[in-house]
């Protein structure tokens, strides 16, 4: 074979080698796509204030987002268990809707809740339907109750020389009117509201925790406890890490110890924003507080500081 033939052969061999390497690299990169699906533990993050609006940036928990990601998990037959990673101080009445969604999910999948930072007030309510609750030792847990905040601008209006006259059909029609001071009747009316909400919350605790709670009188004071204290009181089943929560989920679902744990999340697309499926306001801090806020939340949002005339709490 002449020099020209050897060069052609060398080029052909080189091309074949490059092609072989390319096919090998492509097969390696696609191995996860075409691999046989395996049962796994779905990891779902629920982080932020619970409200009906979702911010464009930042964390929040809304019923719509929770429903979307839970539906993804429920439709996947290989998602045998779910670990909810919760870090929430609670929020508005939307907490009860998220609670119902978690309860629906727990009817179809094994659910373990892991409280990593805050699991207080509404943030604790939403983990109640889980098969087990695991908390980090330093997490904040509890605040079983409701709180109402009445805001008054009357002192400021008096200083500015502004007088506001309210015409109403009944003496309780303008409860929470920020342009006057709250009356004893106002306070008692609001107290009835929050005691009603707190009563529903307490019923949920009794339904899901039962005799695991060692001292209901203490719990219903609406106190906040570390993960270690919460375990002692029966608010959570154990303290540990995320790996401990994943291990318990595997055990409860009958999965092997090497079953993978995969993150599942709902991504917000430009289409969602254009179609108004997501809000560009920040929950709680991005909207004007109502005259009376009935919240399942601890601690209270910072923007209420300095505006509070009266705080009526169901605990303590």
- Phi, psi for residue 313 in degrees, rounded to 5: -115, 150
Q: Is residue 276 part of a domain?
A: yes
- The predicted model scores a pTM of 0.79
Q: Are 226 and 140 in contact (CB under 8 A)?
A: yes
Catalytic residue flag (residue 173): yes
pLDDT of residue 286: 46
Q: Give Cα separations from 307 to 6, 127, 164 (angstroms).
A: 88, 31, 18
For tokens 């719509």, name the residue: 64
- Selected catalytic residue, list 95, 106, 121, 152: 121
pLDDT of residue 1: 54
Give the count of domains, the chain: 1
CATH number at residue 81: 3.90.226.10
Q: Is residue 89 part of a domain?
A: yes
Q: Give Cα separations from 290 to 54, 223, 262, 298 (angstroms).
A: 18, 25, 40, 18
Q: Is residue 28 part of a domain?
A: no
Q: Is residue 11 part of a domain?
A: no
pLDDT of residue 187: 87
Chain-centroid distance of CA 176 in Å reads 29
pLDDT of residue 33: 45
Q: Is residue 9 part of a domain?
A: no
pLDDT of residue 55: 61
pLDDT of residue 284: 45
Averaged pLDDT, groups of 10, the chain, 316 residues long = 62 70 62 66 95 71 93 96 96 94 98 97 97 98 91 84 87 84 88 93 97 96 97 98 98 96 73 47 47 72 47 45
Q: Are 91 and 308 in contact (CB under 8 A)?
A: no
- Selected catalytic residue, list 38, 168, 173, 212: 173
Catalytic residue flag (residue 38): no
Q: Is residue 26 part of a domain?
A: no
Parent domain of 52:
35-313
Q: Is residue 144 part of a domain?
A: yes
Count of CB atoms within 10 A of residue 205's CB? 21
Q: Is residue 248 part of a domain?
A: yes
């Amino acid at each position: 074979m002449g020099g020209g033939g050897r060069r052609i052969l060398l080029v052909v061999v080189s091309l074949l080698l490059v092609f072989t390497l390319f096919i090998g690299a492509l097969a390696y990169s696609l191995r996860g796509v075409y691999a046989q699906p395996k049962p796994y533990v779905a990891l779902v993050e629920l982080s932020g204030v619970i409200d009906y609006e979702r911010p464009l940036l930042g964390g929040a928990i809304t019923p719509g987002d929770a429903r979307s990601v839970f539906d993804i998990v429920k439709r996947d037959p290989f998602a045998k268990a779910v670990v909810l990673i919760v870090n929430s101080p609670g929020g508005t009445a939307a907490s009860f809707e998220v609670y119902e969604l978690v309860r629906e999910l727990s009817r179809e999948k094994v659910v373990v809740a892991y409280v990593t930072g805050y699991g207080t007030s509404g943030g604790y309510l939403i983990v109640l339907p889980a098969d087990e609750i695991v908390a980090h030792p330093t997490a904040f847990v509890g605040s079983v109750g409701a709180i109402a905040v009445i805001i008054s601008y009357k002192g400021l209006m008096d200083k500015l020389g502004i007088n506001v006259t309210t015409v109403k059909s009944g003496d309780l029609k303008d409860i929470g009117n920020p342009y006057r001071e709250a009356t004893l009747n106002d306070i008692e009316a609001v107290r009835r509201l929050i005691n009603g909400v707190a009563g529903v919350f307490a019923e949920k605790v009794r339904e899901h925790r039962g005799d695991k709670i060692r001292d209901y009188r203490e719990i219903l004071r609406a106190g906040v406890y570390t993960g270690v204290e919460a375990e002692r009181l029966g608010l959570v089943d154990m303290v540990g890490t995320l790996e401990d929560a994943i291990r318990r989920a595997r055990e409860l679902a009958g999965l092997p110890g090497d079953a993978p744990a995969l993150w599942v999340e709902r991504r917000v697309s430009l289409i969602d924003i254009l179609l108004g499926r997501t809000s560009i306001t920040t929950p709680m801090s991005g909207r004007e507080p109502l005259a009376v806020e009935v919240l399942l939340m601890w601690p209270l949002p910072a923007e209420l500081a300095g505006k509070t005339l009266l705080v009526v709490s169901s605990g303590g």
